[in-house]
Amino acid sequence: MKLAELHAIAQAMVQPGKGILAADESAGTIKKRFDAIGVASTEQSRRDYREMLFRSEAAMQGCISGVILYDETIWQDAADGTPLIKLIEQAGSIPGIKVDEGTQPLPSCPGETITIGLDRLAERLARYYQRGARFAKWRAVIDIGDGIPSYAAIHTNAHALARYAALCQAAQIVPIVEPEVLMDGGHDIDRCYEVTEFVLKETFQELYYQKVALEGMILKPNMAVAGKKAAKPAGIAEVAEKTVKLLKACVPAAVPGIAFLSGGQSDQDATAHLDAMNKIGGLPWHLTFSYGRALQAAPQKAWAGQAANVAAGQAAFSHRARMNALASRGQWDAALESKAA
């Protein structure tokens, strides 16, 4: 492992004013999103859509430091024969790859899951590195509900995250470590804080046991937010304050940066929360975004599968990327949302 090289890549991924585009939706997930805009999900339509994003120069060159790809996408070529991964590199962004293989039920823990994909991961990482990927992502899913999460679910997923991260660094690939506490329930922000604290502390303990170099990784956590069904949603200032407090309690300063997931928040909420955290300032890490739906919902709707709408889709993507780039510097304002991209 060449730690200096991994550290340099990690720092570039979380540089101020830029963030990560999560374009790693599985075939099933992107089908649901395409269904919502009336577009058939085929290999070509998925390629055309992602090519549209990667050719959005204003967004890619000015606001996006890296792109997380799905296995299908990393091997695809654009309509003119250029590998999609080359479009990302030409825009000055770093290509990455999702390597987990989804979740399956966790035995003896009803209602909880374990992320799979460690088998033969070393071989897959070697192929992805040869293709040009320089970072990877693995998502663990922790749900909040009656009697859950259990310690077994938290520990097992943290252990898998750490094993994945160690394998990545051995392959000279920066691991994005993503332990996501879902916001699907009716819990309040304090319950989210409590569970996320447990998850993060367990995750960093397992990373230590697996000898993962913190300087060569990125953390992708959820924010401390109330569940979607909560009786009382948390305000922007409260989310920012409690998330920053949580990070200070759990994340070592050696980690180069934190790239938040949006986790089902609205586009503007995800931006506003990130901005409010960066306005607090005085933190040892760069705070930025690694958004999927919060960057893509608007361009998907504007594009709607029509070649004539490519420019409109790119403008919508560029606008959302610019809003989040400003938020990563603590320079966003709600008034900017009404301005043209």
Strand 19-23 with 103-105, pairing: unpaired
Helix and strand numbers, DSSP H then E, in the chain: 13, 10
79: containing domain: 3-338
β-bridge partners, 96: 68, 135
**Which residue, among 59, 51, 100, 134, has the nearest Cα to 324 in the 3D structure?**
59
> What's the pLDDT tens digit per position in 282-300?
999 999 999 999 999 999 9
Predicted confidence at residue 341, as pLDDT, reads 44
Q: Is 229 a catalytic residue?
A: no
Tally of domains within the chain: 1
Predicted confidence at residue 108, as pLDDT, reads 87
Three-class SS of residue 145? strand
Return phi, psi of residue 137, to 5°.
-140, 140
Exposure string over 145-169, b if 16+ CB within 10 A, otherwise e: eeebbbeebbbbbbbbbbbbbbbbb
**Which residue, among 330, 326, 226, 225, has the nearest Cα to 281 in the 3D structure?**
330
- CA 308 vs. chain centroid, Å, equals 30
Predicted confidence at residue 324, as pLDDT, reads 98
- pLDDT average per 10 residues of sequence, the chain (341 residues): 97 97 95 97 97 96 97 98 98 98 95 97 98 98 96 98 98 98 95 98 98 98 96 95 98 98 94 97 96 96 97 97 97 84 44
Pairwise CA distance, residues 10 & 49, whole Å? 27
CATH number for the domain including 53? 3.20.20.70
The predicted model scores a pTM of: 0.97
Predicted confidence at residue 339, as pLDDT, reads 63
* Selected catalytic residue, list 220, 229, 232, 242: 220
Enclosing H/E stretch for 22: strand 19-23
Question: In this structure, what is the dihedral angle of CA atoms 333, 338, 339, 341, given to the nearest 10 degrees?
Answer: 100
Q: Yes or no: say if 51 and 85 are a contact pair by the CB < 8 Å rule.
A: no
Task: For Cα atoms 113, 116, 122, give the angle at the middle one, nearest 5 degrees.
Answer: 160
Three-class SS of residue 67? strand
Q: Yes or no: say if 199 and 142 are a contact pair by the CB < 8 Å rule.
A: yes
Average pLDDT in the chain: 96
